Structure 1
Amino acid sequence: MNKLFTAAMGLALTATALTASAQKKYTEGTATYEASVNGQSVEAKVMFKGDSSVTVMQQGPANIKVLSFKEDYLAVLVDVPVANMKKAAIATPGELEDALSKMPSFTFTPTTETKQIAGFNCKKVVAKDTKSNTSFDAWVTTDISAPASAFSTLYAKVGGFPVQFTISQMGRNVTNTLKAISDVKVPAGTFGIPAGYDKMTLTELSAMSGGR
């Protein structure tokens, strides 16, 4: 699991619904993000419906999907067509608890700074991780609202929909910027594991990728 993969993991640990008032409310759809890690960028699409989400991204020859439901379920699907390999790593309760324990815990301080990002009117909020005592700038909008499955439960109480936000995971800062969001219906079966995947634990998948 290399550094760009952490972008998908950070977006996929989702749970609490956002409760801010807004002009446009999304209950189901697709949010497209640019996730940047150490100067490298990758496009990540998050399809969401209620408490369920799937984050889809391309990493080299691999197609990666991260499925999540609340904080109770997490699965990573890796499909490498050129190698004829399909792996589905389903987090055990212990693995999920360990992953959640390593995620930051934010407090939020709003500011008066404003700017537009991707056509959204945004306000700056300072997010402070109480575990590491580090701070990040987040830009949120009240133009829209959506379940936290469309972004991250870590920012569910930020006071709006986070258009640009940072997550520190596995020692790397991942900055996610919303590019677009639509209310197109999510196809049936999107949140399931298709047939043909070899199932394993997250630990086993990590070992296959050199423990990264």
Structure 2
Amino acid sequence: MEDVRSRSPKRVQGNGDPREVWIDGTLVATQEAVHYVNLLDDGTVVGIVQFRGDADRLTTIEDESPEIISCTVTGGETWLAYLHYEPEEFETALYERIDTEAVSIDWPVVETADGLRLTLFGKDAALRELTTDIPEELDVTLKRAGEYQPDMDDPAEQLTTRQKEIARAALAAGYYDIPRRATQRDLAAELGVSRGTIGDHLRRIETKIIRSVIV
């Protein structure tokens, strides 16, 4: 396990602090955590990011930043933005390296004034290979290395073993990709259960995770 700091995976900010999103000279939202990022087959990226601020105004980022393909948000004081965007070259290289080296990210990832703080876990050799071959555009600092200790406050820890299995299958199949590459019927056939059972599991999974983040 390694704790590292690097630049944010998506820079929609504009006034110095990497956590802040500014539109037309106005502070619209402040980023609090990155809950998921995935590099799609077409080279674009989807991510789920937690913000505090004006959710409705953030959706206009599509008009301000050409690289943002779409932005949808949930409601509440602290809310989630689902971003679909064109990544910079160094981002693509980083995500591809993580996949190649069989290294995983311990979500959520937290943005700080110094950059993005993330925990990677995997075999020592894979972690060393990754950190020595990170793109030059990323300014990376290794903060700590040692045995992996899962965060019990992680929303995923609230899921049952079966729910985790279904969530992983849904992610792997592309159920949460844009456009969606798998349906509930596809997941039901893969896991050998009814479509209604899959739908019920997914609703319970999404409810647990969203409540753990928002409430």
With structure 1 as the length reference, what TM-score do the two structures score? 0.29
Greater helix share, 1 or 2?
Answer: 2
* Structure with greater contact order relative to length (CA < 8 Å, sep ≥ 6): 1
Which structure has the larger Rg over C-alpha atoms? 2
